[in-house]
Amino acid sequence: MTTNVPAYEVHAGEHGGAKPNFLNVTKGFMSWAATLDHKRIGIMYLIGVTAAFLAGGLFALLVRLHLWEPTGLLFDNATYNQIFTLHGAFMVFIFVIPAIPGSLGNIVLPIMLGAKDVALPRLNLLSFYLWVTGTCFALYAILAGGFDTGWTFYAPYSLYSTQAVISIGLGIFILGFSSIFTGLNFIVTTHKLRAPGMTWFRMPLFVWAIYATSILQVLATPVLGITILLVAFERLYGVGIFDPRLGGDPVLFEHFFWFYSHPAVYIMVLPAFGIISELVTVHSRKPLFGYKLIAFSSIAIAVISFLVWGHHMFTSGQSTYAMFAFSFLTFFVAIPTAIKEFSWVATIWKGSIAMNSPMLYTLAFLIIFAIGGLTGVILGALNVDIHLHDTYFVVAHFHYVMMGSIALAFFAGLHHWWPKIFGVIYNEGLAKLACGIIFVGFNATFIPQFVMGSRGMPRRYATYIEDYQPFHQASTIGAMVLGAGVALMVGYLVHSLLAGKKAMQNHWGGVTLDWLSPTPPPLENFDEAPVVTTEVYDYSTLDLKTTQTPVR
């Protein structure tokens, strides 16, 4: 994509050398806490969601350790139930949903569009502080005795439980607003702040992905909000909407809950798809195969995702017509997703493939997501789902898409944009090693879960019958390996901030505006406002010199 932006600018003598970038242009605590700069907000999100991920991961390791023994190794049942609930709630609401849009989306999307910032910077900061507030409520809920309803807090158990359900409910309600405002901001930014010459079909696919995500965030999250409010009213006043003793219907709760939570999983995965789209093209130095199909498939997935929530409830006693419709549409949503996967593979084929760490994480994603997506298809078949519902097969499926795909895409994106954001590069050898350990550990954790789930091992079990022990033990060992890989990754990434080598101006050789801005970007992203004159992934415009010239 040629523009009138010089690939890099060096102004010797001004400010004693390199121009100030967004990291050092102002200093001090308040310059970060009260910042309106989308890049700084993104970094604050990054720190926050990483902490949430590590906390959620710690709960996961406790869960797996406890399940080493059939009678439970570490906790009594009630405590175990709290721990798996915390793992789910932290990971879903505090980590996965906000992570990619809040961190990489915030930092990268405006630069990709050629804008100076998002459309509503104060709303952006508010979104971040709402995330912080919601997380504080969650922490308070833990201190107030915890909660053991599962992250899905089904009625009527969530109505009768004597634990801190309302506290965590309020936390999730506030986190929901953070999500809504982030999505709202990105939609307006995409519509109104594109650089001159950037038509919709010249936008990078990461923007399309975030745009589709944002539609879901804005339209689906309010339904979760009202569900939480109703549960809170039910607990406080006994309004009786979900409580069968008062005339209510527990299955109505399930409908309300999944009407949000199914689009929620696409809120989680679409940004990951966006990252992978960017990475396959840059690291194969080849334009994306089927750009328009990938862009439209994101929108198609967003729309269809509103119509399939009932596939979480096939055993709840739905009518056969409902089962028909939900199963049919569930298979339908598999097709745009398959198109993406095939398009990515076709992009890599006959490219110029750089086997660096972002690409390794991307390849790991493509393999793991194939398994995750395909097992979703298995679950879409009605009678098979009846056997597999609420077993470890489902647990393995969603961990393949959420951890193995989304988290891995998040790691890939971090590695990919790390040199751009911070101007330093991490230790490549350790990165490759960590990727390998994570890949092996992840599969070792969850493949046994597919097997035991298909053999009937139910989920959310604090204890289990002895027959399943070998699978649980294998899974636990895998989890420890996975944890080690993640720890290594965090280690070398943090180390790079303290003592990393300087990155190149355009470290990987991308041609979208995010790679053409200075490294790290200045406060308003560009020294001169860019104008777009060519198509989006045109590598003939790549100035190879910038991939060899270090940041000053």
Partner 1 sequence: MSHDHGHSVVVPAPGPGFLPHTVAHHFDTPKQEFQAAKLGFWLFLATEILLFGGLFAAYFYFHQVYPETFKVGGAQLNWRLGAVNTIVLLLSSWTMAMGVRSAQVSQKGKLLMYCALTVLGAVIFMCIKFVEYQAKFDHGLLPVFGGMHDALGQQLQWYTDHDGVMAGVPHGNLFFSIYFTMTAIHGLHVIIGAGLIVWIMFGAAKGRFHANYFLPVDLVGLYWHLVDLIWIFLFPLLYLVP
Partner 2 sequence: MISTLIQDPKNYVENPAKLPVLSDKWGQLEPLASTFDHVDGLFYFTYVVCIFFFVLITGVLALSVVKYRRKTFDQPAASNVTHNTPLEVIWTIIPLIIVMVMFVWGWKGSNDMLVAPADARQYKAVAKQWNWAFSYPGSKVQSYNELWLEVDKSAAFTLQSTDVLHAFFLPGMRVKRDVVPGRQQTAWFRPTKTGDYHLFCAEYCGQDHSKMYALVHVVTADEYAKKPWDVLKDSTPAESIASGENIYKALCISCHSVNGTPGTGPSWGGAKGLFAKDGDKVIGRAREVVLADGSTQTVTVDEAYIKESIAMPNAKKVAELPYRNNNMSAFADLDERRVNCLIAYMKSLASN
Q: Are 179 and 152 in contact (CB under 8 A)?
A: no
Task: Count interface residues toward partner 2 (CB under 8 A).
Answer: 100
Angle made by CA atoms 219, 222, 223, in degrees to the nearest 5: 95
CA distance 100 to 498: 24
What does the block give as tokens for 354? 């750089």
Residue 19 makes contact with partner 1 by CB under 8 A? no
Q: Which does 491 bind (CB under 5 to 8 A by kind): partner 1, partner 2, none?
A: none
Stretch that binds partner 1, among 223-231, 338-346, 500-508, 538-546 (CB under 8 A): 223-231
Residue 162 makes contact with partner 1 by CB under 8 A? yes
Q: Which does 180 bind (CB under 5 to 8 A by kind): partner 1, partner 2, none?
A: partner 1
Nearer to partner 1, 176 or 419 (CB): 176
Stretch that binds partner 1, among 59-67, 159-167, 378-386, 544-552 (CB under 8 A): 159-167
Residue 335 makes contact with partner 1 by CB under 8 A? no
Q: CB of 353: closest distance to partner 2 in angstroms?
A: 5
Give me the amino acid identity at 259. F
Interface positions, 53-72, toward partner 2 (CB under 8 A): 69-72
CA distance 547 to 9: 14
Nearest to 439 by CA among 376, 368, 492: 368
Interface positions, 60-119, toward partner 1 (CB under 8 A): 115-119
Residue 321 makes contact with partner 1 by CB under 8 A? no
Give me the amino acid identity at 469. Q
Nearest to 84 by CA among 165, 148, 135, 146: 148
What phi-psi label fits residue 547: left (phi over 0), alpha (psi between -120 and 50 degrees) or beta?
alpha
- 3-state SS class at 424: strand
CA distance 39 to 195: 18
Interface positions, 260-289, toward partner 2 (CB under 8 A): 284-289
Nearer to partner 2, 524 or 543 (CB): 543
Stretch that binds partner 1, among 136-144, 233-241, 278-286, 341-349 (CB under 8 A): 233-241
Phi and psi of 493, rounded to 5°?
-65, -45
Residue 240 makes contact with partner 2 by CB under 8 A? no
Give me the amino acid identity at 47. I
Whole-angstrom CA distances from 72 to 173, 256, 491 are: 33, 34, 32
Whole-angstrom CA distances from 395 to 196, 210, 364, 402 are: 46, 26, 20, 10
Tally of CB atoms within 10 A around 497? 11
Interface positions, 451-510, toward partner 2 (CB under 8 A): 454-456, 458-467
Residue 522 makes contact with partner 1 by CB under 8 A? no
Interface positions, 253-312, toward partner 1 (CB under 8 A): 256, 259
Nearer to partner 1, 184 or 303 (CB): 184
Q: Give residues in contact with partner 1 (CB under 8 A).
A: 115-121, 123, 159-160, 162, 180, 183-185, 187-189, 191-193, 218-223, 225-227, 229-230, 233-241, 243, 245-249, 252, 256, 259, 524, 528-529
